[in-house]
Structure 1
């Protein structure tokens, strides 16, 4: 649900509300540089919060830059987590992939949905339905322990076990030289550093308005994107 602010027939600000079931995300809150400091960003955020509440949302989340964080704090958001950026500076070492990695199939779709809701704390069925066919899963004795959506956003990896998360990371990061993980995922961060990635100065702040979303950052081995989380 995108919105825009127009002044003298010119777009000077934009923002978007991304609705799930009883949760939502704000994304792409941008104000033209020459119009900053006039409360336009705060106006966009307040409007989108009201729109979310009208749609039955009890928890609104976002990823904040250092520039945007003060605006969100003023609107009532609080910090609930942080993400670390990493970049690969050396060649990825040759390594074998776990046998448990396999393409997804319809028999696993419901398990993926349940695992996604368990880790994210949100009902995101409408978002991920169209990506289930392209998913790669870590399967053990008929149970999905983790999944990777290569075509969704930045390629999220969610896993309830370390072996699943690291196995899926081995697949993804053999061909990707940038990574963003929650700071709480110590295992995933150490795995990347051990395999040629270097920690960058860049971080991002996760913030929430309203009720807390019960999520598990230690089980996120690659985030979905800056505009979704």
Structure 2
């Protein structure tokens, strides 16, 4: 049997891939797939056998850092090297683009493969959730994003993540998707920028500012929806504060890294676009 063909994902692949993800209980990822097949800094791949897509992967180029994710293989093709070849294709793409550090979030099933490719555990994500609020008011310092906020938002994000995610922020930031916290001196203390599929990059260097942003999200969602936050293990103060105020851990996963050390501040990160983009 010939080896599967590894090739770029195209818009034509979106519907069959989205249907496969639904069969695997990955949720409806159609909007995300449409984004990555059109966005210049994201490079999605598929593995194809006999004309059918039997695997996927996405690499996002965030300056000198690349994120690898959305690695999926059809059950009948697992443990046959398909995930390995997809990951190698993404690594080659990232390195050819000049990325010196590769990052991913691993499942327990996938972690041994990534470690064979030179990835090591850097830290852990802990995803917490809590119900929205009925009534209540958001902190008055929180307001909709304005175009003039873009340089400050990008600067906050770069310091926190050690990445250049300006291409994602510019793609998603708008008054109806993004909220910023403006301090009394006019500087920005943090932001949440929501992607079309629901994930939200959330950055705040100060604990009290992060709490205010998360509280505003709870107020906006209302009691019928839940709110999630994604913290790193280094954010001990944040994890302790949220746990003490009723947030419950939904899941956790290791963040793996390969390549040059990063200059970042994980204690200031409170949420992600998703775990294929950062």
TM-score by length of 1: 0.90
Question: Following the alignment from structure 1 to structure 2, what is the Cα–Cα distance between the partners of residues 15 and 194?
Answer: 37
- Equivalent position of 1:85 in the other structure: 127
Alignment of 1:143-182 (within 5 A): 143-151=187-195, 153-174=198-219, 175=221, 176-179=225-228, 180-182=230-232
How far apart, CA to CA, are the structure 2 residues paired with 1:59 and 1:84? 22
Counterpart check, 1:42 vs 2:42:
no
Structure-1 residue corresponding to 2:262: 213
The Cα shift of 1:33 comes to 1.2
CA separation of 1:45 and 1:68: change in aligned 2, threshold 3 A: same
CA distance in structure 1 between the aligned counterparts of 2:132 and 2:152, rounded to whole angstroms:
35
Q: 1:2 to 1:147 in 2, by over 3 A?
A: same
Q: Does the 8 A contact of 2:217 with 2:227 survive in 1?
A: no
Q: Does 1:70 align with 2:119?
A: no
Unmatched 5+ stretches in structure 2 = 1-42
Deviations along 1:95-153, one digit per CA (max 9) or x if unpaired, are 54322212222332211111110101011111111333232111111111101113455
Using the alignment, how far apart are the partners of 1:45 and 1:228 within structure 2?
Answer: 15
Match 1:121 to one of 149, 162, 173: 162
Contact 1:93–1:195 (CA under 8 A) maintained in structure 2: no
Cα distance in 2, alignment partners of residues 120 and 62 from structure 1:
13
Contact 1:157 1:221 in 2 (8 A): yes
Task: Indicate which of 232, 237, 262 corresponds to 1:187.
Answer: 237
Question: What does the per-residue CA deviation read over 1:165-213, in whole Å, with 9 as the maximum and x for residues that have no partner?
Answer: 111011113425242322222333333333332223x211111111122
How many residues are aligned here? Answer: 227
C-alpha RMSD of the superposition? 2.0
Partners of 1:5 and 1:24 in 2: CA distance: 20
Corresponding position of 1:136: 179
Q: CA deviation at 1:76?
A: 0.9
Moved more, 176-185 or 29-38: 176-185
Q: Distance in 1 between matches of 2:57 and 2:137?
A: 43
What is the CA–CA distance in structure 2 between the aligned matches of 1:115 and 1:91, rounded to whole Å?
26
**For the structure 1 residues 58 and 91, does the alpha-carbon distance in structure 2 shift closer, same or farther, using more than 3 Å as the test?**
closer
Specify the alignment match of 1:28 in structure 2: 70
**Counterpart-to-counterpart distance in 1, 2:135 and 2:265:** 30
Does structure 1 retain, via aligned residues, the 8 Å contact 2:64–2:101? yes
Tell me, yes or no, if the aligned pair for 2:57 and 2:69 is still in contact at 8 Å.
Answer: yes
Worse-matched range after superposition: 110-119 or 152-161:
152-161
